[in-house]
Amino acid sequence: MESSGILGLGCYLPAKKLTNKDLEKIVDTSDEWIMTRTGIKERRIAPKEFAASDMGVEAAKSAIKDAGLKPEDIDLIIVATVTADMAFPSTACIIQDKIGAINSAAFDINAACSGFVFGIVTAKQFVDSGLYKNVLVIGTEKMTNLVDWTDRSTCVLFGDGAGACIVGKSKARQIVSYFIGCDGSGSNLLRLPAGGSRTPTTEETVKNKLHFLKMEGNEVFKLAVKVMADAANKAITKAGLLCSEINLLIPHQANIRILMAVAKKMGLPEEKIFLNIEKYGNMSSASTAVALAEANREQRIKKGDIVALVAFGSGLTYGAVVIKW
């Protein structure tokens, strides 16, 4: 029987790599510190002239091709990003034009690093309701624009990239359950203070580096372990499954220690956790999108497998999607 599922996947990673060794020349850090504390070896840096939409376009094109569709077949584009090309128009509108998806509606969502999971859940509602047939969901981020390259506690963590999927009616790769949540009381823990209506851009905000992300790393770490495990458990329970029945957990790639703690909390062995953090760092909403596309491409998922996608991010937002491949 057909129900909402994943029709196609794609991703785009900029070619330029910034290694931990390169970072040693920029801030007071070491490859050893970054590897042991985060699991990150290198991250990708998008070309200067590339914005979130440019990376999103590449990921979108490959997902559309993978689904055997044409841009005209897309009914809706949802872009999850915190690094939109501009405050408005939405990055989704820019991508719609660039790929020629002339029949689609388009909007952005901001759920930070959980954005791709929230995007899939949103897409599923449109497909289930019968309003739309093919929904393109994109997670695209140019995080390296948002980090203060003199702040070693944040600049080592993030990278650029984009991933995409098409959600539509399908006999395979069906979305069997999901859960999304939020704890707004943690909204101060990871934020970009200036440039919005609260603190508009002034010479002063630029001078005070308020256009770079600020993070309470330790607090975020502790909450991340709790909310990711909780979100995954809720979605898995809702699907009538046990954690032990999960074949592959695809988590938001924030910190390898967070991911190992989540695995332990869920009773999952290390080999059931998909990891690509070493290569890309944290790409916010693009992390789960790229990880899902790579896990599929690397044949880490077999037909009939149960896959759980789980994420958390600024907000705090969190969510999980269970897919039967």
Positive or negative, the Cα torsion across 226, 231, 237, 242?
negative
- The catalytically annotated residue of 243, 252, 276, 296 is 252
**Of 37 and 98, which has the nearer Cβ to ligand COA?**
37
The nearest distance, CB 255 to ligand COA, in angstroms, is 4
Q: Is 282 a catalytic residue?
A: yes
**Of 27 and 241, which has the nearer Cβ to ligand COA?**
27
**Of 147 and 241, which has the nearer Cβ to ligand COA?**
147
Cis, peptide link before residue 189, omega less than 30° from 0: no
The nearest distance, CB 287 to ligand COA, in angstroms, is 8
Q: Is 243 a catalytic residue?
A: no
The nearest distance, CB 96 to ligand COA, in angstroms, is 27
The nearest distance, CB 41 to ligand COA, in angstroms, is 13
**Of 126 and 212, which has the nearer Cβ to ligand COA?**
212
- The catalytically annotated residue of 93, 113, 155, 243 is 113
**Of 126 and 312, which has the nearer Cβ to ligand COA?**
312
Alpha carbon distance 69, 139 (integer Å)? 19
Positive or negative, the Cα torsion across 20, 24, 29, 31?
positive
Residues contributing to the site for ligand COA (CB under 6 A) = 29, 33-34, 37-38, 113, 152-153, 156, 190, 215, 217-218, 220-221, 224, 254-255, 258, 282, 313
Q: Is 113 a catalytic residue?
A: yes
The nearest distance, CB 218 to ligand COA, in angstroms, is 5
Q: Which positions are catalytic?
A: 113, 252, 282
